[in-house]
Amino acid sequence: MNLYTPKITIQLWDSAKYRAFEIRTSVFIQEQNVPENMEFDVYDESAWHALAHLGNKCIGTARLNIANQSGKIGRMAVLSQYRRVGIGRHLIGSLIKFGQSHGINKFTLNAQVSAIQFYEKYGFEVNGNVFQDAGIAHQKMILNFKTNLKHNEFL
Ligand SMILES: CC(C)(COP(=O)(O)OP(=O)(O)OC[C@H]1O[C@@H](n2cnc3c(N)ncnc32)[C@H](O)[C@@H]1OP(=O)(O)O)[C@@H](O)C(=O)NCCC(=O)NCCS
């Protein structure tokens, strides 16, 4: 275990919301200027939320909504000073493993265009055209373990 191996917990919104709120406020609302009324939505209530901790400090979060045999990943956020040291990898890996343990083989997400290469590392493939959401360019991506076994070595 190195200095930046986070402890990941996966929780429902009621117990995750205080820490997830802080991270997402910092990353999406303050850093990326996403309006607060778009950042927090009804899907938070039905999602599983991964939280990344280093010691007592929560430094990252992401959520997974499971519906119709598919898992939708979203709100991937790592505090700026902790990026590029593997925290995002642990977050997404934990949510995918969690989804798989619930019988899910297909995962989707709407990637910010600047993060597409991050998701490609885990086997996600772009699908469809670029679109704008909250003023940020996005593209849908899909990871289907039934058809794409290329990049699952992180699991
Ligand atoms: C995108 C984000 C979650 C990635 O988290 P992170 O903790 O920095 O990612 P990691 O350090 O685990 O990176 C894992 C790998 O992806 C690469 N990577 C990380 N971010 C990348 C990016 N934006 N573009 C290309 N590669 C990236 C890393 O270099 C690393 O590569 P390696 O395994 O070859 O060394 C983080 O940059 C973030 O919170 N950004 C702001 C919010 C955001 O844009 N979220 C995405 C919404 S779709």
Instruction: Give every residue of the chain whose pLDDT is below 50, as ranges.
Output: 1, 155
Closest protein CA for atom 34 of ligand 1: 121
pLDDT at 129: 98
How many beta carbons lie within 10 A of that of residue 132, not counting itself? 8
**In the chain, where are the structural domains located?**
7-107
**pTM flag (> 0.75):** yes
Q: Which residues contact 151 (CB under 8 A, 6 or more apart)?
A: 120, 121, 122, 123
Does ligand 1 have an atom closer than 6 angstroms to the CB of 118? yes
Atom of ligand 1 nearest to the CA of 112: 48
pLDDT at 73: 98
pLDDT at 149: 58
pLDDT at 142: 97
Candidate of 38, 78, 154 to mutate for ligand 1, largest count of ligand atoms within 8 Å of Cβ:
78
pLDDT at 1: 47
User: For residue 52, what are the β-bridge partners?
Assistant: 8, 60
CA-to-CA separations, 115 to 16, 19, 109, in angstroms, rounded = 24, 23, 11
Does ligand 1 have an atom closer than 6 angstroms to the CB of 89? yes
pLDDT at 151: 54
Does ligand 1 have an atom closer than 6 angstroms to the CB of 93? no
Closest protein CA for atom 16 of ligand 1: 118
Q: Which residues contact 40 (CB under 8 A, 6 or more apart)?
A: 21, 24
Is 78:60 a contact under the CB 8 Å cutoff?
Answer: yes
- The CATH number given to 7-107 is 3.40.630.30
Strands 125-133 and 136-144 come out as antiparallel
Residue 7 main-chain phi, psi, to 5 deg: -90, 125
Say how many Å lie between the CA of residue 66 and the centre of ligand 1.
Answer: 23
pLDDT at 46: 97
pLDDT at 58: 98
Q: Considering only the C-alpha atoms of the chain, give the largest distance between any 2 of them, rounded to a whole number of Å.
A: 41
Say how many Å lie between the CA of residue 77 and the centre of ligand 1.
Answer: 9
